[in-house]
């Protein structure tokens, strides 16, 4: 499975409600998903519960985008200036430990610049060339050095910086979290069954909810530029991310 393992609670509640209607023709009108403790008795001798397991995980992948933007009177002059600066940025990143197979072009453009007269006429003033490269790596230790080196070498934009958890690492924790979520659901079902004075006789259906990684975290250019100018390493802290597994289980009762 390519999707990662963070869960959107609202999506989970919506699908749980759909599961409940699929196995029951009648659900208590007083049930409110937003206020529920994730246990739903119904008229067809089933109950539906959710189980959740959470773990704090350190990311093991970093993605950063470094851009050079240049302006000149002609497209050729702006391109030449940009190419020279980007060559310097790439060389600086490689000297700072970035491997050749960890970089790729993320974006490139040449666009005209115009001034507009008070009568709405266009006046060509020059051209802007933008070239952005993406660094994708499992080396989280040298990110600060990469940023400082790129900025000192003429990168004038750090467009994005994100830390993510690889599929390989998620695979290592997925089975354990799923089992914990199932155990949590079973505990809730047994508690509800005791309160209703019924017994659980089997499992009718189950679903595992599984969704994406955190969004990209932007990096302020002013932070990187100021740190580089003062020869102080830009402070970058990957932190930890919360990985959550949620299951919905329909139990038969008798």
Locate the domains of the chain by residue range.
9-58+167-214+243-253, 61-163
Q: What is the pTM of this model?
A: 0.66
User: CATH assignment of 61-163?
Assistant: 3.30.70.2970
At the fourth CATH level, which superfamily is domain 9-58+167-214+243-253? Protein of unknown function (DUF541), domain 1 (3.30.110.170)
Q: pLDDT of 186-215, one tens digit each? A: 999 999 999 999 999 999 999 998 655 544
Bridge partners, residue 18, by sequence = none
pLDDT, tens only, 135-164 = 999 999 999 999 999 999 999 999 989 999
Q: Which residues of the chain have pLDDT under 50?
A: 1-39, 41, 43, 214-217, 220-225, 227-228
| Burial track 117-152 (b if 16+ CB lie within 10 A, e otherwise) | eeeeeeeeeebbbbbbbbbbbeeeebbbbbbbbbbb
SS3 85: helix
């Amino acid at each position: 499975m390519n999707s990662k393992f963070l869960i959107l609670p609202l999506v989970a509640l919506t699908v749980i409600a759909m599961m409940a209607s699929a196995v029951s023709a009648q659900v208590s009108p007083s049930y409110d998903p937003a206020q529920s403790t994730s246990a739903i008795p119904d008229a067809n001798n089933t109950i539906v519960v959710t189980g959740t397991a959470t773990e704090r995980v350190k990311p093991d992948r970093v993605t950063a985008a470094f851009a050079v933007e240049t302006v000149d009177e002609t497209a050729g002059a702006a391109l030449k200036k940009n190419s020279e600066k980007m060559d310097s940025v790439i060389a600086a990143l490689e000297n700072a430990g970035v491997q050749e197979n960890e970089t790729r072009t993320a974006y490139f453009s040449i666009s005209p610049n115009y001034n507009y007269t008070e009568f709405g006429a266009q006046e060509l003033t020059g051209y802007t060339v933008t070239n952005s490269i993406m660094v994708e790596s499992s080396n989280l230790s040298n990110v600060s050095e990469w940023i400082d080196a790129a900025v000192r070498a003429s990168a004038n934009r750090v467009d994005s910086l994100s830390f993510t958890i690889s599929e390989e690492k998620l695979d290592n924790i997925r089975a354990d979290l799923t089992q914990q979520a199932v155990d949590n659901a079973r505990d809730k079902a047994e508690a509800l069954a005791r309160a209703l004075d019924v017994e659980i006789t089997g499992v009718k259906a189950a679903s595992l909810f599984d969704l994406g990684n955190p969004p990209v975290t932007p990096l302020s250019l002013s932070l990187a530029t100021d740190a580089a100018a003062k020869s102080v390493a830009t402070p970058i802290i990957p932190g930890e991310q919360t990985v959550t597994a949620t299951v919905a289980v329909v139990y038969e009762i008798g």
